[in-house]
Structure 1
Amino acid sequence: MTLQSYGVMQPPGADKDPDWLVRALEDLERVGFTMLTDQIEGDLLAALRAALDRVLAAQTQRFGGVAALEGIGEAGQARALCNEDPLFWELATLPRVDAVIERLLGPAAIVMQQNGVVMPTGAQGHQQQRWHRDLPYQSWVSSAPIAIGALCALDAFSAQSGGTTFLPASHRFGAFPSEEFIRRWEHGIEAPAGSIILFDAMTFHRGGINRGDAPRRAINTLFGVPLLAQQVTLTAPADASELIRRRCGVAYRPAGSADEYRAGRLARTRKASDDS
């Protein structure tokens, strides 16, 4: 049955978008998150799991072991993954993720951070189990998104494995709500392995408690407009595509001097002239 209405305005061109994109954009606008299933193929999924395990082990060893990371609330987290292995750029350039990022943040969007989270078994504590925004310590909201997270479920998200829980529409309100409100409205995500959960970075969320017998792994790639600072400076591989070079944000890093700033402007002006 067709939904009946009158006096309702639709955005220009909305009728030309594919159904999945219409649904994703509306979900993100109104509730703050959406899910895209079947985004990662089996072989890539296995390779990403192995790569995350390897990077987490290497970063933990470099910092002095698990106890040292626990002391600063960093255990079970691997940071700046795409600097450690170019394979992780696959997650930042998935066609459907990129379509949403381009639509909401524009072509200048950069990867602000790319972190792996390994939720331990046996209901153990983890930093990500605390409510937070991915732009933390902010008590304001904007009329349009300024950062979007793309959370890849490397292992299935379920009530048993402790999938991420979101607070719907909380990207629309500056203040954190009451406990009673949270209990009534929090929404736990159930997602098959290989799914991508896209969310407005101002939506309050937390990792669930893993009561299963195997760790639950996920990778969050956070995209933002270039007025926001990256968590770690990202480096593009030597053979990187134009898209990956843009997402690294090289063009938006502060210049070391006025002369360097002007040299960059001159190079961009010349390129624009050559392209016209």
Structure 2
Amino acid sequence: MSELNWDRASLNSSCSPSGLASHCSRSVGDTGMLRWPRFDGFRRRFASKTQLCSRIDVMETHNLSMGYADIVDNLWVSLRVDCVIASADRRCDAQWRPVQMPTYGDMIAAMKPEDTFSERAVRFARADVHYSMVVAPDGRFVGADGDGGLTLTDEISDDLMWRLDGACLQHAVASVALDLEGPSAACSLATGGVGAEVDGVRGPFTVIHGPERLPSEYLDHLREHGWVVLVSVLAPDILDALQRIAGTDGYTVRSQDRKRRQLCQGSALAKAAVEPISVWLSRSYMQTDDIRMAHSPGVGVLTPDDGKRTVQGWHSDYPYHWGINAHGKVPTPSGQTVMGVQRIVCVSEFTKFHGATAFKLGSHALDHGPPEDWGLAKDAYRPDYRAANGLPYNGPDADIIEAPAGSMILFDTRTWHRAGVNRSEKGRAAILMDMTPAYIVPYADTSEDYRAFTGSDGYDDLNDREKAEFTRLMVHRFLGPAGPRSVIGTHEALTEQLPRP
């Protein structure tokens, strides 16, 4: 990767060219690395600011329909900037290292129309205010009905949402207020100065991090659009533990522990798997309470792109598997029954530049797979695909959801999508948790991971409700030697005996 070095730069909106200034002005502050997206095949260096401006002007005169910002945004260039406060005359005076300038022909030859990274960004900002949820010792939630009565339940609804203000809880829907006595991690509840019990339980209760919006609002959006984002829904301590497992974000100096199952490295993965709002949304959207995880939860890291690596093509997730070479994919049209909801946990911040997942939002309603010319997963996995065809489609008809770390993206698994291209210098971590109805054969065996986790220290960190929920999601049963309670697992001897399909 080539670099342009600014020894000193005053970067502001009046710099020329305007598009370059608009990009650079975002980096005023401390010294750091600003890396712009990859321009496929282009690794030349610029000689001076004047020559760069001239070259961009030439490209514009050839009707490439790309403005300054577009051109600059598509160069694989790294700018090490020592930013200072703009001077009084607000001019951009940058000193550039002399290097060789590419010819116009070089730039045209390097361009691939499909590699413009011009997907529509759907941005969700970090939420400043969240609801709180109140948890009893067994894991059930404290709710209030329309009459103000308190109850304990594990059924998710708007009735479980509270606003925390100091030592006071105000119900989100009903006219009910509760006072907290003691720390929020182990408190008792009171009304009017009198201690309160809920269904015979006096505590200690725990006030936990809840969603940004009411559960019913999320469900309305999911049903209407086929996707929804739960912004920053994970508690900060759970997110931190997931980043530690991934070795990303604040833990880049720490390598991943590959000797132990990720699931057994604490309780964070299991707690993310049983996050109550997303599980409830999955059940409600698929219209069945009996759902399972199609595979074990695990943290994956999308490492920085090198311009050559194999990338993922467009597809629909399990069980549909449209666009994928897979056995048993759902035929089209698939009908009205929903057979899958994918949950993506943004362990790192999701941005286009950082390799956030690309979607064709709303494509679930088309009830068929992505088009061949978008670059399907069944083709793009070949090592020679990228060199011959460039990246799978990344134009303006695609969407990228940008969301803060700790958010969850839920979508109908018929939705066309693909992994993004990480053009940053850091890994981007995420968790995939495909949810399917119990009548769908699981994508992978979850029994060994479940068994290992129940013998780990992390299992003891879960409350009774979380343990029951995790068991329900991870254990697949069928009619076997022990009757209908028999657990589905892998038959190793038979697996070795039978030929590959």
When normalised by structure 2's length, the TM-score is 0.40
Mapped pair 1:145 → 2:338: yes
Q: Which structure 2 residue ranges, 5 or more long, are not aligned?
A: 1-156, 160-212, 248-253, 323-328, 375-392, 461-465, 487-501
SS in 2 for 1:241: helix
Q: Is the 2:339–2:436 Cα contact (8 Å) retained in structure 1? A: yes
Change beyond 3 A, Cα 1:51–1:202: same
2:304 corresponds in structure 1 to 121
Which protein has the bigger strand share? 2
2:483 corresponds in structure 1 to 261
1:209-229 per-position Cα deviation (integer Å, ceiling 9, x unaligned):
111110000001111101122
Q: Which of 169, 191, 195 is the aligned partner of 2:362?
A: 169
Q: Is the 2:314–2:370 Cα contact (8 Å) retained in structure 1? A: no
User: C-alpha displacement at 1:255, in angstroms?
Assistant: 3.7
Which protein has the bigger helix share? 1
1:91 corresponds in structure 2 to 272
SS in 2 for 1:210: coil
User: C-alpha displacement at 1:247, in angstroms?
Assistant: 0.9
Q: Is the 1:30–1:169 Cα contact (8 Å) retained in structure 2? A: no
User: C-alpha displacement at 1:30, in angstroms?
Assistant: 3.5
1:101 corresponds in structure 2 to 282
SS in 2 for 1:202: coil
Change beyond 3 A, Cα 1:86–1:209: same
Q: Is the 1:124–1:209 Cα contact (8 Å) retained in structure 2? A: no
1:112 corresponds in structure 2 to 294
SS in 2 for 1:157: coil
> Percent of aligned positions with the same letter in both sequences?
22
User: C-alpha displacement at 1:182, in angstroms?
Assistant: 7.8
Instruction: Name the CA distance, whole Å, in 2 between partners of 1:92 and 1:161.
Output: 24
Mapped pair 1:154 → 2:354: no
Instruction: Name the CA distance, whole Å, in 1 between partners of 2:217 and 2:280.
Output: 13
2:428 corresponds in structure 1 to 216
RMSD over aligned CA atoms reads 3.1
Instruction: Name the CA distance, whole Å, in 2 between partners of 1:33 and 1:124.
Output: 31
SS in 2 for 1:189: strand
Change beyond 3 A, Cα 1:148–1:130: same
* Higher RCO by CA contacts (8 Å cutoff, separation 6 or greater): 1
User: C-alpha displacement at 1:87, in angstroms?
Assistant: 2.9
Change beyond 3 A, Cα 1:101–1:118: same
Q: Which structure 1 residue ranges, 5 or more long, are not aligned?
A: 1-15, 63-79, 265-276
Change beyond 3 A, Cα 1:22–1:262: closer
User: C-alpha displacement at 1:97, in angstroms?
Assistant: 1.0
Q: Which of 291, 315, 338 is the aligned partner of 1:132?
A: 315
1:192 corresponds in structure 2 to 404
2:446 corresponds in structure 1 to 233
1:17-73 per-position Cα deviation (integer Å, ceiling 9, x unaligned):
6864344323333432211111122222121112234896517xx9xxxxxxxxxxx
Change beyond 3 A, Cα 1:127–1:242: farther
Q: Is the 2:341–2:413 Cα contact (8 Å) retained in structure 1? A: yes
1:148-188 per-position Cα deviation (integer Å, ceiling 9, x unaligned):
11101111111210111111222122232364798443111
User: C-alpha displacement at 1:119, in angstroms?
Assistant: 0.8
SS in 1 for 2:353: coil
Instruction: Name the CA distance, whole Å, in 1 between partners of 2:310 and 2:316.
Output: 13
Instruction: Name the CA distance, whole Å, in 2 between partners of 1:21 and 1:188.
Output: 23
Instruction: Name the CA distance, whole Å, in 2 between partners of 1:263 and 1:90.
Output: 25
- Aligned residue pairs total 226
Bigger mean CA offset, 148-157 vs 129-138: 129-138
SS in 2 for 1:24: helix
Q: Whose radius of gyration is greater, 1 or 2?
A: 2
When normalised by structure 1's length, the TM-score is 0.70
| Paired residue type of 2:312 | Q
Instruction: Name the CA distance, whole Å, in 2 between partners of 1:190 and 1:262.
Output: 43
Q: Is the 1:129–1:206 Cα contact (8 Å) retained in structure 2? A: yes
1:25 corresponds in structure 2 to 219
Instruction: Name the CA distance, whole Å, in 2 between partners of 1:124 and 1:152.
Output: 26
1:182-213 per-position Cα deviation (integer Å, ceiling 9, x unaligned):
84431111111111001111111111111111
Change beyond 3 A, Cα 1:116–1:24: same
